[in-house]
Amino acid sequence: MIYYFAPLEGVTGSEFRRAHHQFFPGVDAYYMPFLSPTQDHVFTHRERRNVLPEYNQGFRAVPQLLTKSAEDFLWCAGELSAMGYGEVNLNLGCPSGTVVAKGKGAGMLARPEELERFLEEIFARAPAGLRISLKTRLGLEDPEEFPRLLELFSRYPVSLLILHPRVRADFYKKPVRTEWFAYAAEHYRAPLCFNGGLTAPEDCALLSQTFPQVDQVMIGQGLLADPALVRRAKGGPAASKEELRGFHDQLYRTYLEIFASQRNTVFHMKELWSYLHTRFEGGEKPLKRLRRAADSPSYEAAVNQMFALPLASGPARS
């Protein structure tokens, strides 16, 4: 099985990917949180920190683009190809209200004719040798939208179709619609990847039993809750407390350095803890304290309280 780390905007930036790879190597590729190329055709400082190859050394990373403009996509794809990237990913799944209102992300699924013109352009004019993968949902409102979309995707040389089998209206909460992934597995004849709700090695095993023809999965929140999930899925050991502490401290120190702000650093770390606390027996209590922290001293005290707890014995469930 090939395992990808899902893009998680606000969490899995380059600092996170480096720390995760250092302590928990074994993920086959990290898909980056989206870049939003604009018509100015320049990268912001933050985007450069996410995407420049020097910040992504030692592991495979795939940039993701969120745009409905073929021109902007092609500009950005050209820049990324020149940096040495061999694949770019198109975001067709972002459910955010402002993104969808602008007709981007999952909003592109609602207008198949426009999406077809967009795909026509980008696949015709992308830099030679650059692979284009898609990350999509089943549709905007209703999974019955999916067969038409799948037929459309089948017409292009998509290097990998990553399917998160929910519609936009499901956001991230409603149950994953596995029956629609089965539809894709049956009808789609090119590389296909499952994404959504995998939080334990048993989930990955069940998926490969159910879909023996699918050998690629993408995991997001499950890997935040248990950074060693891929290692465990491959038969390796669970994360030790020392590894979790090392990973945490590395990330925390890096954020303090780049943000030069305790408040901003603590804010970023809280997002990770909203998942990672499940690794600790009784982690909800220090989590409450952690959520109230606004500076390094109060944050570090809460983290020490967390690490004093025993690790949870069962598989991490977020």
Cβ 133 to ligand FMN shortest distance, Å: 11
Q: Is 97 helix (H, G, I), strand (E, B) or coil?
A: helix
Q: How far is CA 238 from CA 204, 251, 278, in A?
A: 15, 20, 14
* Token couple for 311: 């690790």
Q: How far apart are the first and last CA of the chain?
A: 22
* Token couple for 113: 């004719």
Of 69 and 305, nearer to ligand FMN (C-beta) is 69
> Rule CB under 6 A: which of 75-114 touch ligand FMN?
91, 93-94
> Rule CB under 6 A: which of 151-210 touch ligand FMN?
164, 172, 195-198
Applying CB under 6 A, the span of 37-45, 77-85, 201-209, 215-223 interacting with ligand FMN comes to 215-223
Asked whether 247 and 20 are in contact (CB, 8 A), the reply is yes
Cβ 32 to ligand FMN shortest distance, Å: 8
Which residues are within 8 A (CB) of 229 and not within 5 positions of it... i.e. 6 or more apart?
198, 199, 200, 201, 219, 222, 223, 316
Applying CB under 6 A, the span of 9-17, 38-46, 180-188, 225-233 interacting with ligand FMN comes to 9-17
Taking CB under 6 A as the rule, which mask of x and - marks residues 38-77 in contact with ligand FMN? --------------------------x-------------
Applying CB under 6 A, among 33, 107, 139, 286 the residue interacting with ligand FMN is 33
* Token couple for 126: 């992308």
Contact between 219 and ligand FMN by CB under 6 A: the answer reads: yes
Q: How far is CA 55 from CA 10, 19, 40, 122, 309, in A?
A: 16, 11, 23, 27, 34
Of 196 and 283, nearer to ligand FMN (C-beta) is 196
Contact residues for ligand FMN, defined by CB under 6 A: 6-11, 33-34, 64, 91, 93-94, 135, 164, 172, 195-198, 219-222
